[in-house]
Structure 1
Amino acid sequence: MKSIGERWFVLAGIGLLGAIALAGLLLAIYAAWLFHDLPDAGELAEYRPATATRVYAGDGTLIGEFSQERRIYVTYDQIPAPVVQAFLAAEDSNFFQHGGIDVGGVSRAMFKNVLNAVQGRRLEGGSTITQQVAKNVLLTNESTIGRKLREAILASRLEATLSKEQILELYLNEIFLGYRSYGVASAAFNYFGKSLDQLTVDEAAFLAALPKGPNNYHPIRRPEAPLDRRNWVLGAMRSNRFITEEAYEAARARPLTTQDAPRRAQYRDADFFVEEARRRALGMFGEDINAGGYYMRTTLDPSLQSAARDALMQGLEDYDRRHGWRGAWGNVDIAEGWQDEASEQSAPPERREWRAAVVESVGDGVRIRTAQDDQTGTLLSADVAWARAGAGLEVGDLIFVEPAEGGQFALKQVPAVNGALVAMEPQSGRVLAMVGGYSYALSSFNRATQAERQPGSAFKPIVYAAALEGDFTPSSIVLDAPISFPGGAGGRPWTPENYSRQYYGPQTLRRGLELSRNVMTVRLAQAVGMDEVVQLAEDMGAGDDMEPNLSLSLGAGETTPYRLTAAYAAFANGGRRVEPYLIELVQDRNGRTIYRADDRACRTCGRGFDGGASPRLTPRGEQVIDAITAYQISSMLEGVIQRGTGVRARGLGPWVAGKTGTTNEYRSAWFVGYTTDIVVGVFIGFDDNRSLGSGEAGAATAVPVFINFMTEALKERPARPFVRPRNAIFRTVNGIEEAFRPGTERRVEPTPEPQTWEGPQAYTDVLRREAEAQRQAQQQQQASPQPAEPAPAPQREPAEDLSGLY
């Protein structure tokens, strides 16, 4: 019989074995739970993290990027050795020796963590680069034993699946380094404005200092901490013999100089253009555009874009100055800390020379002190007079100033008015420049593409083109005399007027368009038929679903500067409607072209040169008006600049055409002008559509912007004569060479003597009188046929009505 001690010994053994079995079972269950959804390390062989879509101008200039995470993916062989060595020294110096887990490193971390726990410091993980890749790419950031075990298992699998170089490539492209930067290439650009191969050793060491905590080493907010950490990394590089003692001392002595903030691109004049390209890309590719790593080449010409931005901003500032100083944007007590209040409002980023300042004294002159660099000086006397003529200046006023000559400062004011400028190639539709407002930082609303406004007289060339497509010629006569139309349903009659309230009798179409005669345009639209005018306007792309009302002939419909400028392209390119576009080419991350704007087929473009003729592509766009009509309008609009409402731009030289436009009560000012190689639309107006003020017509407000832009554009794209259609017949009429469609040149008549008409007349009476005059003219023509090319009759030059609405 067994003793009690033996019995208890057997029971204890059974219990121990059961506990071991239970622990084994629990461990197996836990292991199964760890492994059941463990990611496949083999997937990383084809892994590519989300990267930014980079946007380039037509000449290769980087102008922006679209991204959820700012990352530029680079392969291992594209990463310079100093960058790799800096990260190895800082994060895992035994990377090329261990198998994914550095046992020695873990032991040292455990020993240090005993002291860290006692001192209340953050515990160290001792993770290798391989473990960090496993955590960053495949796992979460939770701080649990289970996650650490999964991380170790995955690290071993990674080492068995990928080469050391592949693991390093993933690590250096995936890691977050602050400044909105994912990966070393993006960080180099955002911190230093450089590519990886341009980094110095000390700059590479700074980047390697960031993985432990980018916010702790922010170079602007905490300038000392990142410098100390960078120097520690340099010391680790020296200890690992990655750099020599001399290189270490030289790198340590250099200051840490970074950019103030991350930038999408060094070129910063195209914010409106880039945002519009992003909107259109979203429509084509969806949300993938923000993470797909696409290469996008746009149509932008950087030199023209900068000229467009400068011209529009200057034009808006000039308008704003004409309408007076509105007053300071703030007022402070000049005491310690006033700079903090002044810094709450910053100058437009596009005006990089402007400074916030405070008015220190007001006497014979005005003395100011800048907030940013604590400079003192006086305002220009002309600016003092301008301010005193307006809201005035007081001590403590916060203002914007710009350094001027002689230690003085110019007083600056952010305009309340806004506008847009669009420039495109008329032959292809490529948008070369686009500015949608005074400052993108102040308002991202793109007035070039989103502002639906009445174009005023800038619409008139479409009316004249519709007439020329019919029975009219540039020398056809239309009566410039008062006319009245009955109002519908008992409403008041509509009596269109020339702004000058003067009328000049029978005039040629050319003269009517050059001087922007309202009444002549209405009569012409009535004769042609508004249905024809509307159809042509829509065919040219100026608008959709327009109402065929006579008031539309004077620009009462709505369109955008983008669409109206594109419509004018047909006048410059021989009558073809071209669709404007911003995106030229898109390639995926592997270099495969997935979109090309020019989809015309060319079977012989890829052949080698054999001495024969070069391939010829069909012109882009649909023919919407006759080439002769396009030339006639271009010739007449050239006359607008040489003799008409756009005469202010005559200094640009010949072969420049254009048309002014102003709406009722001076609410909007327009000018659309072009040469054979570029068409430019300018719009200026308040966002709330209030009046610009008396006299602020297109000729006074928009034309100067066009002149400033075209002065630069013509240096790059000199004006050339408009292409003469082959089948056109040319005759000299009133001293000007006119183009005619074959057969219509016989209808040339001398311009009648101008007459003065006063007061509105009933529409039926005018029709009766015009019909009688036409019948008498036909009888005279039958009695004595006119020669093919009559000598122009002597005429008295009519008074110019150039001071009103056009």
Structure 2
Amino acid sequence: MSPRAAAIALVARRLRSARSLRAVCLAVPLTVLLLLVLATWGLAHHIYFDRSGVPDLEPFIRFELSTIGKVYDARGVVLVELAREYRQVVSYEEVPPVLRHAILAAEDKTFFAHSGVEYRALPRVLYKTVTSSVGAWWNGDGFRLHLPQGGSTLTQQLVRGYFLRDRWSREHDAILLRDNLTSRLLSVVVGVPTTNKLFWKLEEVRLALWLEEAMSRRFGSRERAKREIFARSASFNYLGNGRYGFAAGSEYYFGKPLSSYTTTEDAGKAALLAGITKAPRDYLPVHGDPRPLRRRNEILALMARNGYITEDLAKRSQAEPVLVVEAPNSPVKTQAPAAIDTVFDELRQHGAGRFGVEDLFQGRISVYATVDQRMQTIVNEALETGLAFYEKRHPEAKGLIQGSVVVLRNADAAILAEAGGRYFYKNRYARYSDFDRATGSLRQAGSAWKPLVYLAAFRQGLMLDTTVPDEPIAVPMGADRPLKWVANYDKEFKGWIPMRQALAESRNAVAVWITRVIGLDRVIGTSRELGIRTPLQPYITTALGASEVRLLELAGAYRAMASGILAEPYIVDRVTGASGDVLYKAARTAVEFSSSHLNLIQEGLRGVVRIPRGTAHSLHGRDFPIPVMGKTGTTSDFRDALFVGSTYGPQGVTVAVRIGFDDNRTLGDKETGGRAALPIFREIMLGTYQQDLVGAVPSFLREIEDGIDQYLVRHPPDLDSPQLQGLNPSLAAQPPHGGAVPMRRRAGAPAPSV
């Protein structure tokens, strides 16, 4: 080839190479541009047109979130509010205008104008993204895309919390939530957490647009849809301290319902609440913290700038200090924590798969209890007063001594009040999760058990004036152990005495003797009939209350003796669903039992009060004008002190009190039921009837009072005894209950036949 031809060929090759290079250079950006266009179109299609995989709208329409479950007392007063999330769901109309304006100023001033996404906020978001990302790189944190907070509309915030809650909680995972080629390539550049956040942010935008479209179709107009979304947002947001929604937040921080808000008086409170949702940890209303104050004032200024309030009102509100009500020391504030614990037990017992404790915490049911909050207050105060008197006698026990109380309605065994312990103990208020000593503590009943022994004896033919031996008696204590000689509290024996005197004076030897004569099985059988469910020891010492029982059981047995009605104690009157439908109603299973021997035990327990040497005689006097029957109880070594007593008949009430230490140490010498527990019973009865909480004081049958009058005439303690004042001397000649008056037997006389 000639040199000229070679040169021409070389030039031609170079021209072809240049054209190829230009083609490649042009093709690459065109390809990239095409890919970007396709990606943008695909992304836009996914966000604006693709509605596949969107959530079901119906649950959002119903908005069946966890709300507050309430337990009401017998008069409809709220005893306690319980929740996993303390939330109050409100409608748009229930949000006062001043709070609406504060929310819009703080979060989304164009809420009623946009379609779910505020595009005008995009430049601000991009600017913050660039500055925060570059700033992090400049500080040596490496180059990562940092997406700032803010810029989301109320609709986006609601979508994020309601529909994407679980996904957003995993945005910082080191594992890609969407494992595809695009995600992998993007994660190389910006990191896995940022990639996850970008994808869920796009999904948040898509669902926000979908939600507004779907709500507009559902409610027929954009305005109505906006109001529904706003109301759900106002009910959903977290406001700290377990409170969700502005209604719950207002009542917690200010003790003020939303219905009482006015623009002129509450603009500052509204701005303070609206400011919390941005960052609850930083902006909780705390007195003296400058952060919530600064945030509130910023929102007030925005409200004035947007024309929601006047400049003058904004300045006046900005000058106000941050004032909040005192937060409760207990996570759940209630006057009746033990009663709530018993409510839980009955919900488990009666739910039968239809409802349970969790339904109460989720706000799906409401419980109406038999408790009267007024009586509960009396019980709490009486228990604290009685324990304070004990602590005054024993300063070393201050803050350690405990007690429990149960009040039952005689007619049907409804629990009217229940204290499972001190209202304030170990430097905090009692909670429903604390140990309930009224229903959970198994302790000896002591002499408070003896009425069950006497009732069993009356059923076997013994009478109140049957004479019985108050003499030394021994009981076996088991194999290879010596006999135990039973002693009385006063260390004395009185020989043969009437049964009513033995009961009134709580003679231990007599109770053991009676049990031996009639048989322990009959005593246990009687106790079972009257509602004692705890297994009892098959030993003779059970006659003296050595077996452990629950205070509620003991109260139920005394209630049955006072009323002649058998019934199981209960506290849940009814349970209703969210729509008010009754899911459960307590069955009235009260049954009258044989009254042939009922008057005898009623007269005997009334004698414990009226007979001068009775252990509860302090309840018979002008300073206590309530006729009651009852019995003291003191356990071995003064470990527990009890008093259980009642007013008469189905119209009356029964009160059981027990005092003792949780570690079962002794209360101290002479700390008997009459000294430690009876004064608490007395205060409860006085408060109950003085406030007319259960009607008029019922009187005992005339024949019961006459029987005691006859005994007092025949056995006067002394000629000047006030017990004889007002008695009819002719009663001394009348045999009680129409039978012969047994003669007092001298010591050593043979026992009467049974």
- Shared fold per TM-score greater than 0.5: yes
- For 2:619, the equivalent position in structure 1 comes to 649
- Residue 469 of structure 2 aligns to a residue whose secondary structure is strand
Change (3 A) 1:20 1:751: farther
Change (3 A) 1:530 1:699: same
Residue 211 (structure 2) aligned to one of 158, 168, 172: 158
- Verify: 1:631 aligned to 2:599, yes or no: yes
One-letter identity of the residue aligned with 2:206: I
Change (3 A) 1:282 1:130: farther
Residue 622 (structure 1) aligned to one of 578, 591, 604: 591
For 2:326 and 2:671, locate their aligned partners in 1 and report how far apart those are by CA, in whole Å: 41
For 1:222 and 1:215, locate their aligned partners in 2 and report how far apart those are by CA, in whole Å: 15
For 1:151 and 1:724, locate their aligned partners in 2 and report how far apart those are by CA, in whole Å: 80
Q: Is the 8 A contact 1:106 1:127 kept in 2?
A: no
One-letter identity of the residue aligned with 1:315: G
For 1:83 and 1:596, locate their aligned partners in 2 and report how far apart those are by CA, in whole Å: 41
- Residue 80 of structure 2 aligns to a residue whose secondary structure is strand
- For 1:770, the equivalent position in structure 2 comes to 751
For 1:669 and 1:56, locate their aligned partners in 2 and report how far apart those are by CA, in whole Å: 32
Q: Is the 8 A contact 1:193 1:266 kept in 2?
A: no
User: Where in structure 2 are the equivalents of 1:148-547 lying within 5 Å?
Assistant: 148-162=201-215, 163-199=225-261, 200-220=266-286, 223-261=289-327, 268-281=334-347, 284=351, 285-324=356-395, 326=396, 414-439=398-423, 441-442=425-426, 444-485=434-475, 489=479, 491-547=481-537
- Verify: 1:592 aligned to 2:592, yes or no: no
- Residue 454 of structure 2 aligns to a residue whose secondary structure is helix
Change (3 A) 1:91 1:507: same
Change (3 A) 1:291 1:540: same
- For 2:100, the equivalent position in structure 1 comes to 84
One-letter identity of the residue aligned with 2:253: Y
Change (3 A) 1:525 1:24: farther
- For 2:654, the equivalent position in structure 1 comes to 679
- Verify: 1:722 aligned to 2:700, yes or no: yes
For 1:730 and 1:593, locate their aligned partners in 2 and report how far apart those are by CA, in whole Å: 48
Change (3 A) 1:557 1:697: same
For 2:435 and 2:671, locate their aligned partners in 1 and report how far apart those are by CA, in whole Å: 23
The Cα of 1:7 is off from its aligned counterpart by 5.3
The Cα of 1:422 is off from its aligned counterpart by 1.3
- Residue 658 of structure 1 aligns to a residue whose secondary structure is strand
- Residue 580 of structure 1 aligns to a residue whose secondary structure is coil
Question: 1:507-562 deviations in whole A, cap 9, x for unaligned?
Answer: 22222211111122222222222111111212212233223322111101111112
Residue 707 (structure 1) aligned to one of 682, 689, 711: 682
Change (3 A) 1:201 1:70: same
The Cα of 1:137 is off from its aligned counterpart by 0.3
Q: Is the 8 A contact 1:52 1:294 kept in 2?
A: no
The Cα of 1:195 is off from its aligned counterpart by 1.4
One-letter identity of the residue aligned with 2:551: P
> Percent of counterpart pairs with the same letter?
30
One-letter identity of the residue aligned with 1:694: D
The Cα of 1:483 is off from its aligned counterpart by 2.7
User: Where in structure 2 are the equivalents of 1:755-766 lying within 5 Å?
Assistant: 755=746
Q: Is the 8 A contact 2:286 2:322 kept in 1?
A: no
- For 2:152, the equivalent position in structure 1 comes to 127
Question: 1:577-599 deviations in whole A, cap 9, x for unaligned?
Answer: 222222223222222222222x3
For 1:522 and 1:45, locate their aligned partners in 2 and report how far apart those are by CA, in whole Å: 70
Change (3 A) 1:220 1:32: closer
Change (3 A) 1:297 1:450: same
Q: Is the 8 A contact 2:70 2:360 kept in 1?
A: no
For 1:415 and 1:153, locate their aligned partners in 2 and report how far apart those are by CA, in whole Å: 60
The Cα of 1:632 is off from its aligned counterpart by 2.8
Q: Is the 8 A contact 2:51 2:210 kept in 1?
A: no
Change (3 A) 1:183 1:25: same
User: Where in structure 2 are the equivalents of 1:127-146 lying within 5 Å?
Assistant: 127-140=152-165, 141=168, 142=171, 144-146=197-199
Aligned length: 648
- For 1:372, the equivalent position in structure 2 comes to none
Question: 1:202-253 deviations in whole A, cap 9, x for unaligned?
Answer: 2122100111111112333752221221122222222222223443344334
- Residue 123 of structure 2 aligns to a residue whose secondary structure is helix
For 2:683 and 2:599, locate their aligned partners in 1 and report how far apart those are by CA, in whole Å: 26
Q: Is the 8 A contact 2:68 2:361 kept in 1?
A: yes
- For 1:51, the equivalent position in structure 2 comes to 67
The Cα of 1:655 is off from its aligned counterpart by 2.1
Give the unaligned 5+ runs of structure 2.
Answer: 1-11, 137-145, 172-193, 216-224, 714-726, 728-734
One-letter identity of the residue aligned with 1:734: Y
Change (3 A) 1:731 1:231: closer
One-letter identity of the residue aligned with 1:130: T
For 1:525 and 1:146, locate their aligned partners in 2 and report how far apart those are by CA, in whole Å: 81
The Cα of 1:649 is off from its aligned counterpart by 2.1
The Cα of 1:297 is off from its aligned counterpart by 2.3
- Residue 632 of structure 2 aligns to a residue whose secondary structure is strand
Q: TM-score, normalised by structure 2?
A: 0.78
- Residue 702 of structure 1 aligns to a residue whose secondary structure is helix
For 1:662 and 1:587, locate their aligned partners in 2 and report how far apart those are by CA, in whole Å: 43
- Residue 54 of structure 1 aligns to a residue whose secondary structure is strand
One-letter identity of the residue aligned with 1:103: Y
For 1:239 and 1:580, locate their aligned partners in 2 and report how far apart those are by CA, in whole Å: 63
Question: 1:321-348 deviations in whole A, cap 9, x for unaligned?
Answer: 2124x4xxxxxxxxxxxxxxxxxxxxxx
Residue 118 (structure 2) aligned to one of 95, 99, 102: 102
- Structure 1 range deviating more: 640-649 or 629-638: 629-638
Of Structure 1 and Structure 2, which has the larger fraction of its residues in helix? 2
Change (3 A) 1:241 1:17: closer
Change (3 A) 1:566 1:479: same
- For 1:550, the equivalent position in structure 2 comes to 540
One-letter identity of the residue aligned with 2:542: L
- For 1:799, the equivalent position in structure 2 comes to none
Change (3 A) 1:237 1:748: farther
The Cα of 1:135 is off from its aligned counterpart by 0.3
One-letter identity of the residue aligned with 1:229: R
For 2:31 and 2:701, locate their aligned partners in 1 and report how far apart those are by CA, in whole Å: 100
One-letter identity of the residue aligned with 2:234: L
One-letter identity of the residue aligned with 1:650: H
Change (3 A) 1:56 1:254: farther
For 1:224 and 1:590, locate their aligned partners in 2 and report how far apart those are by CA, in whole Å: 44
Change (3 A) 1:316 1:689: same
Q: Is the 8 A contact 1:300 1:582 kept in 2?
A: yes
- For 1:749, the equivalent position in structure 2 comes to 741
One-letter identity of the residue aligned with 1:634: Q
One-letter identity of the residue aligned with 2:526: L
- For 2:639, the equivalent position in structure 1 comes to 667
- For 1:330, the equivalent position in structure 2 comes to none
Larger radius of gyration: 2
Change (3 A) 1:106 1:414: farther
- Residue 710 of structure 1 aligns to a residue whose secondary structure is helix
| Coordinate RMSD, CA, aligned | 3.5
Q: Is the 8 A contact 1:64 1:264 kept in 2?
A: no
The Cα of 1:694 is off from its aligned counterpart by 1.2
For 2:453 and 2:673, locate their aligned partners in 1 and report how far apart those are by CA, in whole Å: 19
For 1:153 and 1:691, locate their aligned partners in 2 and report how far apart those are by CA, in whole Å: 71
